[in-house]
Amino acid sequence: MTDTETTAHGTALVWFRDDLRVRDNPALRAALAHGPTVALYVLDESSPGIRPLGGAARWWLHHGLEDLASSLEHLGVPLVFRRGPAAAVVPEVAAQARAELVVWNRRYGAPERRADTAVKSLVRAAGREAESFQASLLHEPWEVATQQGNHYKVFTPFWKEVSGRDHRHPLPMPRPQREAPDRVPRGEDLSSWALLPRTPDWSGPLARAWTPGEAAGLEVLKDFVGPDTADSALVEYPEARDLPGRPATSRLSPYLRWGHVSPFQVWHAVADRRRAAPEGSAVFASELGWREFAWHTLYHHPDLATENLRPEFDDYGWWTPGDPSGTGPAGGGIEQLLDAWRTGRTGFPLVDAGQRELWATGWMHNRVRMVSASFLVKNLGVHWRVGEEWFWDTLVDADAASNPFNWQWVAGSGADAAPFFRIFNPRTQGKKFDHDGAYARAWIPELGSTEYPQESVDLAETRAAALDEYRSLGQSEGRRRA
Ligand SMILES: Cc1cc2nc3c(=O)[nH]c(=O)nc-3n(C[C@H](O)[C@H](O)[C@H](O)COP(=O)(O)OP(=O)(O)OC[C@H]3O[C@@H](n4cnc5c(N)ncnc54)[C@H](O)[C@@H]3O)c2cc1C
């Protein structure tokens, strides 16, 4: 069937979730091909197990939905906003729209899958068709397995397997629908959801740093991959991507997180640059592979945000707020140290610049995320879950898979994780990756003055304490096995 053709069916309802785009959207395309289409977005904060969004994510979502509503309007598709548990709202809106067909693109977290399964059976029980599509991952997690039939636990063989497969080409922009739906159910006013911060409104720097939405995301992608010549940013990506002071990474993460841009669009845009930047396009594609690997890991380990993937780490003496016994390897004052980490006042410029960048813009460079996370988990001895929750609240790209996956990677407790003894030294990392200090100075105006705090912990002592704790973990493991 071509883009313009529709069968002579009744109304279709397309339910948007983490796929806030009109291009390369299989569910939207199926709805438009079926008949007059109504779109729905449900703010679901009450289905069991659904993780409430953090503050920066709520800000992004508000603007992302405004952008989606405007793109859909150009296609003649009304977007209805409703709040409540999906299993109640979606069947109700489908009934109000008298929809014959309800479609959506798949999600992979356990609570979301449970909600989707409930919606599917309720919609079908009401005599409507329901269909879901693959749109947010290059491969379905259940379709990638080792020869023994298990899921991959190590990235390199995982990526070797999936990067060699074919990835479908992105679907084109749909044509506007010719026939308006008969009934458009009443929706809520987006502003009544209070997704934007009010008292205080801290979103000014976020708005200066980002333009949420599909067109902006595609522009970011286009600028990043550049022309098919040596000028493409991909050429220098393998070296420069580790330098936080250089705009050398794509900054596509929030656009991928919210589905303004699809992994298929990114994959093919990069594949088209293979001639000009063979190494850069391969390294960049493998970063997309880490995103994919994180999601496959979450699919197979639904408790990724709360449970150590390697259970031996359950015995590690990490500190969590409210723990009366714990001080962490840094000694006393752990609450103040945690506060200093959050606000970028630890006395270690690379960590502090990163935490301030995060607070101001909702984003932090990957190298700095790794160093800052390692400092919190290993030098301060704070549980990775505490850092994960802070990032969840402050990142505009806060992602249910990539965030816990990477925190566990840094902590050593995760899939194919960094070995625990790899403890980043923030001073050395600063010299290596921000050697002229430009990144640190950009975020810490008082750097070099007496206003900037002294180093808050002794790196060598805290490192040694963390390693001691880790070694005792090994021994108790050994004892348990003996
Ligand atoms: C402690 C910690 C927490 C993190 N939390 C998140 C998160 O909540 N959301 C998130 O999208 N990324 C997270 N990352 C991964 C990574 O830091 C960001 O994806 C990256 O910095 C985004 O910038 P970019 O788009 O310019 O990346 P680029 O270098 O341009 O990479 C392109 C894309 O590949 C993906 N990607 C790159 N690195 C990773 C990675 N290590 N894991 C998974 N996907 C990756 C992202 O989608 C990214 O947009 C985290 C990393 C760490 C160490």
Q: Is 373 close to ligand 1, i.e. is its CB under 6 Å away?
A: yes
Q: Output the CA 52–ligand 1 centroid distance in Å.
A: 21
Residue 2 clears pLDDT 50, i.e. is over it: no
Residue 100 clears pLDDT 90, i.e. is over it: yes
C-beta neighbour count of 302 within 10 angstroms: 16
Dist. CA 342–CA 339, nearest whole Å: 5
Q: Output the CA 183–ligand 1 centroid distance in Å.
A: 42
Name the average pLDDT for the chain: 94
In Å, how far are 68, 397, 418 from 415, measured between CA atoms? 35, 21, 9
Q: Output the CA 266–ligand 1 centroid distance in Å.
A: 14
Which atom of ligand 1 is closest in space to residue 294's alpha carbon? 43
Residue 433 clears pLDDT 50, i.e. is over it: yes
% residues pLDDT > 90 (the chain): 88
Q: Is 399 close to ligand 1, i.e. is its CB under 6 Å away?
A: yes
Which of 2, 22, 4, 120 shows the shortest CA–CA distance to 79? 22
Full DSSP string of 352-375: HHHHHHHHHHS---HHHHHHHHHI
Tokens 């220098």 correspond to: 236
Task: Give, using CA atoms, the residue closest to atom 3 of ligand 1.
Answer: 403
Q: How many CA atoms lie within 13 A of 123 on its CB side?
A: 31
Which of 476, 481, 378 shows the shortest CA–CA distance to 426? 378
Residue 375 clears pLDDT 60, i.e. is over it: yes
Averaged over 171-189, what is the pLDDT? 95
Q: Is 257 close to ligand 1, i.e. is its CB under 6 Å away?
A: yes
pLDDT in tens, 290-339: 999 999 999 999 999 999 999 999 999 999 998 776 665 555 689 999 99
Please give the backbone phi and psi of residue 12, each rounded to the nearest 5 degrees, phi first. -115, 145
Length of the chain: 482
DSSP H/E element including 255: helix 253-257
**By 3-state DSSP, what share of the chain in percent is helix, strand and coil, each rounded to 5?**
50, 5, 45
Task: Give, using CA atoms, the residue closest to atom 5 of ligand 1.
Answer: 403
**Tell me, what's the pLDDT at 227?**
83
Confidence band, pLDDT 50/70/90 cuts, at residue 477: very low
Confidence band, pLDDT 50/70/90 cuts, at residue 476: low
Q: Is 368 close to ligand 1, i.e. is its CB under 6 Å away?
A: no
Task: Give, using CA atoms, the residue closest to atom 51 of ligand 1.
Answer: 406
Instruction: List beta partners, residue 83.
Output: 43
Dist. CA 344–CA 394, nearest whole Å: 13
Residue 61 clears pLDDT 60, i.e. is over it: yes
Which tokens belong to 481? 């096995």
Instruction: List beta partners, residue 103.
Output: 14, 131
Q: Output the CA 253–ligand 1 centroid distance in Å.
A: 6
Q: Is 407 close to ligand 1, i.e. is its CB under 6 Å away?
A: yes
430 against 476, higher pLDDT: 430
**Tell me, what's the pLDDT at 228?**
79
Confidence band, pLDDT 50/70/90 cuts, at residue 55: very high
**Tell me, what's the pLDDT at 479?**
40
Which atom of ligand 1 is closest in space to residue 224's alpha carbon? 30
Q: Is 249 close to ligand 1, i.e. is its CB under 6 Å away?
A: yes
Do the Cβ atoms of 322 and 170 come closer than 8 Å?
Answer: no
The structural domains of the chain, with segments of one domain joined by +, span 1-136, 137-164+214-300, 311-474
Residue 6 clears pLDDT 90, i.e. is over it: no
Q: Output the CA 471–ligand 1 centroid distance in Å.
A: 30
3-state secondary structure of 36: coil
CATH architecture of the domain 137-164+214-300 equals: Alpha Horseshoe (1.25)
Dist. CA 46–CA 83, nearest whole Å: 9
Which atom of ligand 1 is closest in space to residue 250's alpha carbon? 30
Which tokens belong to 70? 């405007």
DSSP 319: B
Dist. CA 379–CA 418, nearest whole Å: 15
Averaged over 420-442, what is the pLDDT? 96
The residues near 5 (Cβ < 8 Å, ≥ 6 apart) are: 33
Q: Output the CA 131–ligand 1 centroid distance in Å.
A: 30
pLDDT in tens, 378-407: 999 999 999 999 999 999 999 999 999 999
pLDDT in tens, 210-219: 999 999 999 9
Task: Give, using CA atoms, the residue closest to atom 12 of ligand 1.
Answer: 402
**Tell me, what's the pLDDT at 330?**
56
Assign domain 311-474 to a CATH class: mainly alpha
Give first-to-last CA distance, the chain, whole Å: 65
Q: Is 242 close to ligand 1, i.e. is its CB under 6 Å away?
A: no
Q: Is 424 close to ligand 1, i.e. is its CB under 6 Å away?
A: no
Domain 1-136 has CATH 3.30.420.40: no
**Tell me, what's the pLDDT at 419?**
87
**Tell me, what's the pLDDT at 475?**
63
Task: Give, using CA atoms, the residue closest to atom 16 of ligand 1.
Answer: 366
Q: Is 389 close to ligand 1, i.e. is its CB under 6 Å away?
A: no
Q: Output the CA 366–ligand 1 centroid distance in Å.
A: 6
* Mutation choice for ligand 1 from 374, 397, 405, 424, CB with most ligand atoms inside 8 A: 397
Q: Output the CA 363–ligand 1 centroid distance in Å.
A: 10
Task: Give, using CA atoms, the residue closest to atom 7 of ligand 1.
Answer: 403
1-136 and 311-474 share one CATH topology?
no
Helix axis angle for 384-394 and 366-374, nearest 10°, is 140
pLDDT in tens, 260-295: 999 999 999 999 898 889 999 999 999 999 999 999
Instruction: List beta partners, residue 13.
Output: 38, 102
